[in-house]
Amino acid sequence: MSALGTPRRLYRVVAVAEAVTWALLLTGMFLKYVTETTELGVQVFGMVHGVVFIAYCLTTVLLWVDQKWPLSRLVLGLAAAIPPFATVPFERYAERAGLLGDTWRLRSEAPRGAVERLTSWLLRRPAQGALVGVLAVAGLTGIALVVGPPA
């Protein structure tokens, strides 16, 4: 088994993690704005949610390329990260619609085009692919911190 597991398993894990971090962030917001007891929940869980949000979006793009999703499913998958808890119903929809395979297509199939070649390279070298994923999440998180919180 690779560091990435199967497309189905990876997507389930990141979709659930994104929903859990939404719950934690909303709890932190309740404590900050409703009970006015602490800002710590927003500070900690806001960062955690941001990191997992980015990981979910990158995973959605990875699956779009590898599993040959239509562009409309990519857009829907990315949009599911915005409202709280919507990633889980989207993941279940993707499972029922046959968008999540048990294998990574580009590990065995010849890639077409630059994007598929890069994706294939990442998938055929799971340790390096996972490292690139972690570095991409870290880099995008850094950019998000410089840009600032959503308005």
Residue 125 resides in a domain: yes
Residue 128 resides in a domain: yes
Q: Structurally, how many domains does the chain consist of?
A: 1
Residue 1 resides in a domain: no
* pTM greater than the 0.85 cutoff: yes
Residue 107 resides in a domain: yes
pLDDT at residue 148, as a whole number: 85
Residue 89 resides in a domain: yes
Splitting the chain (151 residues) into consecutive groups of 10 residues, what average pLDDT does each group show? 80 98 97 95 95 98 98 98 97 97 96 97 94 96 88 66
Residue 62 resides in a domain: yes
What is the enclosing helix (H) or strand (E) of 70? none
Residue 136 resides in a domain: yes
pLDDT at residue 151, as a whole number: 66
Residue 2 resides in a domain: no
pLDDT at residue 1, as a whole number: 47
Torsion of CA 14, 19, 23, 28, to 10 degrees: 50
Q: Which residues span the domain enclosing 121?
A: 7-147
